[in-house]
Each structure stands twice: as structure tokens, then as C-alpha cells.
Amino acid sequence: MKLTKLLIFCFLSVLFSVYGQAQDVSIKGKVIDENGLPIPGVSILIKGTPKATSSDMDGNYQLKADSNGTLVFSFVGYATVQEPIKGRTTINANLKPESQSLQEVVVIGYGTQKKGLITGASSNFKGEDLAALNTGSAMSALQGIAAGISITQNNGSPGAGTRVTIRGLGTIGNSSPLYIVDGVSVGSIDYLSPADIESIDVLKDAASAAIYGSRAANGVVLVTTVKGRKGRPAKISYDYYFGLQNIYKNLDPLNAQEYMYINDEGRVNDGLAPIDWNAMVHDNNWLETNYPGAGKQLGDDVWGKLQVGWKGTNWIDEMTKKDAPVVSHSLNMTGGSEDITYSAGLSYFDQDGILGGNITDAGYKRLTARFNTTMVLKKNDRHNIITVGENFTYSNTQNRSIATGNIYWNDLHNALIQNPLQPAYWQTSIDRNINEFGYTPTLDGLNTGQTNPLAVMYYRHNYNYGKGNNITGNAFLEIEPFLNLKFKSVYGVDSWFGNGRSMNPTYHLGVLYNDATDGASQNSYFGANTTWTNTLSYDKKFGEHKITAVIGTELLRDQSNINLSATRNNLLFPGNPKYAYLNNTQSPASISDINASGADWAAGGGATQSFFARAQYDYKETYLLSATMRADGSSRFHPDHRWGYFPSVSAGWVITKEDFMASTSSVLNFAKLRASWGQNGNQSIDAFQYIANINYSFPGYFFGDTKPVSGTTAVIGNVPNVEIGWETSEQLDFGIDAKLLDSKLGVTFDWYKKTTIDWLVKPDGQGTNGAPAPFINGGNVENSGIEYSVNWNDKIGDFKYGITLSGAHNRNEVTKIANADGIIHGPSNVLSQGTGEVSRVQVGQPIGYFYGYKTAGIIQNQKEASEWLTSAGTPYFNDQRPGDVRFVDQNQDGLIDEKDKVYLGNPNPDFELGIQLNLEYKNVYLNTTMAGKYGMQVMQSYRSFADSPKQNYTSDVFNRWHGEGTSNTMPRLSAVSNRNTQYVSDIYMHDADYLRINNLTLGYNFNKMLSAFKFVSNLKVYAAVNNLYTFTKYSGMDPEVRFGHDASWASGIDLGLYPQARTVMFGLSADF
């Protein structure tokens, strides 16, 4: 009996014990971030079960769980936290950001991958970080924070855009990277607002970019726009800033007294008498003829003011617009349910130009609308089966700009060379029919090639503007019939359309600048590219093994512009821009008053059919392998050479996961070795180069010695080349990624060697061909270098700080050019008429190096002039004298000629540097970014020396030779001879090293004060300065001199570059 009772007691004890262990408890809590702010949408999972919940808008949650279980808190961008329950009924969780986490998912070609498993070389940037830099374009914001990605502003004018080069110039053709926005290929991303961008991923090595094949030789920029989030309530974000822009560094042209003195010095050096300035300012022949007395009146006014100390007109000051405004508004809304996600954005950007004075409406406006959605049409308990969605962006831009081109089309250059004796505006009551701008008198030739630059800017450009529209987007269908097997079909379109208008009124600004016929012109354009991509992907983990694979096809159609333009002279309502574009075709004075032209889009289009595949494997996330193959067939090439094949392979080894590295884990938290090899291609040429195109024109035909027969002429547009094939880029990369000291220190290092062969170039044609030369495969270049990034992030109490240093060194060398002399000649007459070739491409040299005469200083005295002799004992020049340039006779043949021209400098930097500093104390934060370039030169010439020695100078002329020992770099002045200055030589060369503080932002975060305001979850205000200061010895307005001057590869030529503005701004950012 006692035994029976004991057994019953033991059984009941075990039963109740088991019941007690399995008993669920009700748990509640709150999830906050490191600032104490609630995090909505956090997943709270009971470990080992499918049971889960999520936190609400206030970060609160509630669920029932086994009292001995474990809760797992996880959220994108934060480190996962596990909390044992241990019978507790209240469990709060504090999630810490994991922005540098190796588990972060980044975008790769046609897919995503954990950052820690990447085996190629790529850089990843968050859109919110770029938007915080308050730039008009996202690529501008990347300057200084992206190692190996060289970003140069085209110029400082609003909407000018950037030039992006990844790992050096690989071609003399189009060297821009491939831009992919939400899977759609686009020409650039300038149409996007930075606030619409969720992330930018840049693929730098060939292995990463090989899956894009023939379009990826110059790298790939993958842009993901802001997307909705599953199970997240609607979130509204508003960002605003307003700023005032000014020139941060101005040039100092000579004033009237300095100008007269310098001109007289040049005449005296040549044995001529000084100028009678009193007589010159009264010499207004045209004015006197057409307005008797006006020329004398104007001359008296100018001379009188000079006598009492008037400094003349500072044309740069007159052209500058002080406190030019810039404003930006961005409104975004995101959210989603379990089956639908959505994201919408509307932004407006308006920037005035800092040049153009108060007489032009120069500026840039952009309105952008974006809408992205996804919808689950069918699902089961394990996964979504059918999902559809779209990504849509519309952008409208308006642009009115001043001339920023070469010496013949450059308003700033005109202002720099104009003499200061002319008033900017009439100071008398002269008939306003000849306009309010000061008239340019002849001044005995002092105005040669010049006139009032304000007037030129006003009449040439103030009536001109352009409007553009971009519609970019895609629609997709994703089917996952079985878990981990997905089919996705995406159809994308990138289209653009717009128009431009210009009006040319009558004006008379001087002897050289006048127009008695008014006119108006208008052009319209439209174009579109389409992409249809189909992929089948598989992602599966088998124990410690994981395989990810994707195969796909892609069809791209490039359709060039439809262009239509028309011009009408002798308008019905002359001089009135309001009515310039009404019907002006009634009863023209002559048929020459009307001109119209157009071009069909089919002639420039092309198509590419592609097949691609990628397989990725990892074992224990320790041993990593990836292989890619893409085949592209392009209609741009002859059928015999149409297909190109682009393979790649890469591997990685996470050595810190090895047992033998366990002893280093307290210091070395993560280390991964990477190696990759791959090939990419380039097909950026005109279509149908393998056949002879027929062009139409209207000059008529010639038959022997007879007069031409009028009518439409059909001529051969090009010599066909059936042998032309792919330009190919092959790249080898070795890298290491590491995190040390509790992941506070991060290090990335890469070495690469990129070889591009079979350039697609168009050589100079021979006149005997009877048609322009076709594209050929004509050269090779090698780029090699290193990249690094080092970052440190830490916290001391309430003080948090982070610093990142990034840098890159690249060496560029041409190894082959397919002609006899191994040279591709660059543009001539760039500095001025007669200066000859400035830059060239040549075997053994970097692309676009400066080419000209070396000098050995300035002849200081007559003795040196007499001793500068050829090997035959004769002077190099019969009239050489003190103050002249001593050119180097490289081959010692007794002549200074073309054979003596050599390498002068390199416009491409040897080294690029970026610095980021982030400081935060409680609610106050201070951020700054800096960018620098070193080891590059700039060719600078603000005067057309060979055209007119009487143009104005900047204050640099005070460094001229004007007596023995006064200068050994700048020659004497001359009113007659231009021998010292008409040739391209190193007297124009300047070192252009610089370090620029791109952005400095001081802000205050009100988040901790918002708990009482349920409708506001984030609020910060800030003051910022863009382009705060530039450390440089360069004497020009800006050492960052653009690419492209009459050749896409010719860069670093400063003829009066539109400078970047310094902007002081105030802004706020709020989430609701």
C-alpha cells in the first residue's frame, strides 16, 4: 500500500513538473535603438518554433511563449539579439545598428548577396547618406567617399552633371560606366533626386560586372530606388533645404590703370611709343556716324572718370550673380501590408547660376515623381508564389545656361579678356535702340575679337532654353512555383523627349559683333531604349553547403533620337520674344528665311541579344566560389563578328573561420581574401558600320568641269568595315576585407590590373576615300593600381565618432595603336589660334597627356641672349632678346620645331583621396567629407595670346619678366611678337593638386524630445556648407578641370572654367 502511494506521488510530481515546464507565459516589452527611440516592425521570433510577432509603431510587442524559451529580435540594418525568457514577463530589447555588418545584403547583377560573401570588388552606399550631403545629383555626392571611382564635375553650372571613371580611362571613346536603375539601363542618373535612391552599388572589377557583358567594360553603377516595406505602416518623410551660392574664389583681372600700364610696357619693349589713351577712348567711329556726338560724349565720360580714379569695369564682378539661391523639396511615402508594398516620391530642385549676373535667367530646375509597388497575387504558408510590381520614375528638367565651351563659345573667357576701359552699361541718354549695354569702340584695335561680354551673353543666351523629360521604369512578374526556385520577367523602358528654343534678336555691339536680322529656332527630340530580361534563379542550402544559381536572357533595343528642327529669320514681330514662336511662315522675304530638318531614329538604333549564367557556392560561409558567363550578339557588328563571350571567375576565403585563427579572434574579428578574373566588352559605336550608309544633302552634283546640278544629293556616309569586332577589357583583382578590434576598425584593400584591347576608334580619313572613315579596332591600354579604405567607429560615453580614409592610385599606359606612328592626335588651336596640338594619345604614355615644348627658363640679360646658340654657333632666333622664352632643342638640330615637342604633363591624377568624419554628442552631430587629387597638371590659358596681345590679363601678369631676375617662368610683354606665347609649352602648365572640403554639416536631432508627439517620429535641423574650402596652389578659379575639350579623352584644359559655387544652406528632415 505504501509502495502504491509512493508510485502515485512520484507520477503526479513528474506530471506537474512537466506541465509546469511547458506552461506558456504572457510576455510584453519594447524594442528601442541605441538612442532610446522605438523601432517599429521588428520581428520577435520564439526560437525553434514558427511562432512570431512584430513590434508596433511605438516599438511595443506582446506574445505568449514557453517560460524557458528564447526570443530572437531581428530587423534589417540591426544586429540580431537573443533574449532567454527565464520566466520573465517583461523583456525589453536594445538593437544596435549593423550598417557595416557582414550580413548586410547588397545588390549584385540580377540578384543580391550577403556583403560578407562577396568575392568581387564593389562599393556600396546608402541613399540616405548621399541625400544628407545636399547635392543636386547622387554621383556628385559620391565624390571623395568611393575608392577607385574618379568623379569630376563637368563644370559648376547648374545641371552640368559629372564625369565618372572607374579604375582609370580604358578607352578613348565612351568611358562612362553602365548605369542600371531598378534593372533598366539608362544613360545617366542625373534625372533622379538623391532622396529617391535607396542604395547605389558600384561594380568595379570584371568578375562583378561580367554578367553585364558587352556594356560593362567601364564598370557598372547599380541604383535601387526607395521601396516599400512589408508589414510596415505608412511613413511620410519630408526633406527641405535652402541655400545661397557664391563664387568661393575669384580671379583678379587688371583694372583700367593696370591695363593701360601693361599695354604701354609691351609697346615700349618693342620700341614703340606708348598709347595716347585720351585719343583712344574718343575713337568711336560707328557711334559718331550713326549717333553724332554720342561717341565723343561717351569718350569724355570714360576719360573723365579715369582722371578721377575710376578703376574701369571688372567684367567678372559684373557677370557674377551674388547670393544665387538653391532650394530642394523632397516628399516620400513608404509602407506595406503582408501582400502589398508601396513607395511614392515627389521632389523639386531649383538652382540659379552664379554666373550670368542679373541680366540672365540662367539656372536649372528638376521635378521628379516616383512610384514603386509590389503585390502578392498568390502564396502559401511557406512562400509567395506569384508577385507582380512596377518601378516608375518621371523627371522634367528646364535648363537655361550661359556658354561654357571653348575660347569661341565661353562667356567667362570673354569677360576675362575684355579690356576694362569700356563701361558695362550706357551712362548717358544715348538712343536706347542700340541697347542699354555699353558699346565697344574700336580703340585702335584694342578690342580685337572682343565686345561687351555682358551684351554677348544676353543676346546669345538669354533667349535660349531647353526642356527635357525622362520616363524610366519597369514592370515585372515573379513566379516561385517551388520554394527557392524563382522565375522573373522584367520589361523596362528608358525614354526621353523634349524641346529647345532660341531667339536671336537684332543687335549692334561693335564692329565685330552685330546682327541686323532677327530669327528664332526650335528643335524637338524623342528617343527610347527598351530592355526585356528573363531569369530563372535557384537558392538552396544543403547542410553546410549553399548553392545560388541564375540563368537568363536579355533583349535590348537602343533607339536613337527622332530629331526635328526649324529656323525662321525676319520675324513678323521682331525683337519680341513673346511672339517669336507664333506662326512666322506667312510670306517670307525669301526661301532662305525658312529652314527645317529632321532625322529618323532607325538609322542610329541597334539591338543586343544576350544569354547569361552565374553560379555561386559557399561552404560554411568560409570557402566561396563564383563563376559567370555571358554571350552577347550585337547588330552593330557584321554577322561574322557579332557574338562576344565574356567569362569570369572569383573566389574567396574567410580565414577567420578556420580553427588555426581562433587565437586571433579577440583582435582580428573577420578577414576575407579575394581573387577574381574576368572579361567585359564595349560596343559603343554607331550602328551598321559594316555597311555603307547613304546620307542626303542639298548641294547638288558635279559632273566633270560643268556647273553643279542642283537637287538632293545622295552620298556615301562612311567607308564600311566588315572586320570590326568587340572592344574587350580583361581584369585581374586581388583583395582583402578585414574587421578588427571588436569590428571598430575596418580595412579593405585591392590590387588590380585592367587591360583593354581592340579600342573602338574612328581614325582620320583620307580625302581619296570619298567618305568618312569607319570605326576600327585601333588600340590597347593598361590600367593598374591599388585601392584602399580604412574606417574606425567608436563610442566614448555619449560621444560617438567615426572616420574613414579612402584612396586610390592608378597608372595608365597606352600599349598599342593601330597605325604607323603609334599616335592619335588631339585637338589643335585650343589655347588660341595657332597654338597647335595640346594633348594626344601615344604608345608608352597615358591617355590624353599634354604635348608641347619644354622650356629652360627666361633669357635674363643680353649676355644670355648672345650665348643661346645652336650647335653651329648661330642664334635660334634672329631677334632673341632678354625676356624671351628659352625653348629646349631636344634633338640638338639647331631648330625649334615639331621634332622638339615632348611630354609636358598628365591631366589624370596619380592618387585620389577621400576623408569622412562623423561626430555625434547626444543630440548634436557634425559631419564632413573631403576629396583630393594629386599628381596631375592643368593647362591654363585665359588669354588668346596668339589672337590678340591686347586682351586683358589677370593679376598673374605681375609675375612677368620685366627686368633681370624678375621672373624665370613668364616671358616679357610684347605688343608685336607672340612667339613666346603662341606655342604650347610648359609655361602654361600648372600643378593642380588639391584637397577640398566638399561638405560640412552641423545639425541637431530632436528625436528624444518627440515622445509626446505621436505623429512625428524623426526631426532634425541643420546648417551646412558645400565647397567650404579648397587647399591648393593652383592659381585658377578651380583646380577640378573637366574632361572633354574637343575630344572625349582630352581633359585638364582651363580656358575660363565655370567654377563650383560655395553654398551656405539650412535644412530640415522629418518623418511622420
pLDDT at 593: 56
Provide the strand spans (E) within 204-338: 220-225, 235-247, 324-336
Q: What is the pLDDT of residues 497-540, one digit of tens each?
A: 998 888 878 777 665 667 777 888 888 888 899 999 999 999 99
Which band of pLDDT confidence, cut at 50, 70 and 90, is reported for residue 445?
very low
For the record, the C-alpha cell of 11 comes out as 507520477
Mean per-residue pLDDT, 789-795: 95
In this model, does residue 843 exceed pLDDT 90? yes
What CA–CA distance (Å, rounded) separates 1063 from 619?
A: 51
What CA–CA distance (Å, rounded) separates 1058 from 404?
A: 7
Q: Is 206 helix (H, G, I), strand (E, B) or coil?
A: helix
CB atoms within 10 A of CB 799: 11
Residue closest to 616 by CA, chosen among 78, 109, 32: 109
Is-contact 334 370, C-beta < 8 A?
Answer: no
Name 610's bridge partners.
554, 632
Is-contact 988 981, C-beta < 8 A?
Answer: no
Which band of pLDDT confidence, cut at 50, 70 and 90, is reported for residue 83?
confident
Which band of pLDDT confidence, cut at 50, 70 and 90, is reported for residue 568?
confident
What contacts 945, CB < 8 A, 6 or more positions away? 831, 832, 978, 981, 982
What contacts 872, CB < 8 A, 6 or more positions away? 894
pLDDT at 403: 82
Amino acid at 88: R
Provide the strand spans (E) within 42-196: 43-46, 52-54, 60-66, 70-74, 81-84, 93-94, 105-108, 111-114, 122-126, 149-153, 162-166, 178-181, 184-186
What CA–CA distance (Å, rounded) separates 209 from 230?
A: 30
What CA–CA distance (Å, rounded) separates 26 from 60?
A: 14
Provide the strand spans (E) within 156-219: 162-166, 178-181, 184-186, 197-203
Q: What is the pLDDT of residues 345-376, one digit of tens each?
A: 999 999 999 998 777 788 999 999 999 999 99
Cα 197 vs. chain centroid, distance in angstroms? 16
What CA–CA distance (Å, rounded) separates 517 from 454?
A: 20
Q: What is the pLDDT of residues 864-901, one digit of tens each?
A: 999 999 988 999 998 899 999 999 999 999 999 999 99
pLDDT at 998: 95
The domain spans of the chain are: 23-94, 105-243, 258-268+276-619, 854-900+947-980
Which band of pLDDT confidence, cut at 50, 70 and 90, is reported for residue 97?
low
Q: Is 825 helix (H, G, I), strand (E, B) or coil?
A: strand
Is-contact 683 214, C-beta < 8 A?
Answer: yes
pLDDT at 591: 47
Q: Which secondary structure element, helix H or strand E, spans residue 20, and what is its range?
A: helix 2-21
What CA–CA distance (Å, rounded) separates 843 from 817?
A: 7
Dihedral of CA atoms 933, 937, 943, 944 in degrees, nearest 10, equals: -130
Q: What is the pLDDT of residues 732-772, one digit of tens each?
A: 999 999 999 988 999 999 999 999 999 888 877 665 666 77
In this model, does residue 1 exceed pLDDT 70? no
What CA–CA distance (Å, rounded) separates 792 from 779?
A: 43
Rounded (5°) CA angle 264-983-267:
10
**Which region holds residue 449: left if phi is over 0, alpha if psi is between -120 and 50, else beta?**
left
**Which region holds residue 643: left if phi is over 0, alpha if psi is between -120 and 50, else beta?**
beta
Provide the CATH topology of domain 105-243. Answer: Ferric Hydroxamate Uptake Protein; Chain A, domain 1 (2.170.130)
Which band of pLDDT confidence, cut at 50, 70 and 90, is reported for residue 77?
low
pLDDT at 705: 61
What CA–CA distance (Å, rounded) separates 828 from 835?
A: 7
Which band of pLDDT confidence, cut at 50, 70 and 90, is reported for residue 278?
confident
Q: Greater confidence, 210 or 1046? A: 210
Dihedral of CA atoms 682, 684, 687, 690 in degrees, nearest 10, equals: -50
Which band of pLDDT confidence, cut at 50, 70 and 90, is reported for residue 972?
very high
Summary mean pLDDT of the chain:
85
Write the CATH number of the domain with boundaries 23-94: 2.60.40.10
Provide the strand spans (E) within 543-622: 545-569, 594-599, 606-619
What CA–CA distance (Å, rounded) separates 639 from 278?
A: 75
210 CB-side CA count, 13 A: 31
CB atoms within 10 A of CB 859: 24
Residue closest to 800 by CA, chosen among 915, 927, 922, 930: 922
* Separation of first and last alpha carbons in the chain: 73
pLDDT at 430: 45
Q: What is the pLDDT of residues 704-713, one digit of tens each?
A: 666 666 666 6
Name 1002's bridge partners.
926, 1023
Q: What is the pLDDT of residues 998-1056, one digit of tens each?
A: 999 999 998 777 766 777 888 999 999 999 999 999 999 999 987 555 567 888 988 88
The DSSP call for residue 205 is: S
Q: What is the pLDDT of residues 624-669, one digit of tens each?
A: 999 999 999 999 899 999 999 999 999 999 999 888 888 888 899 8
Mean per-residue pLDDT, 138-147: 88
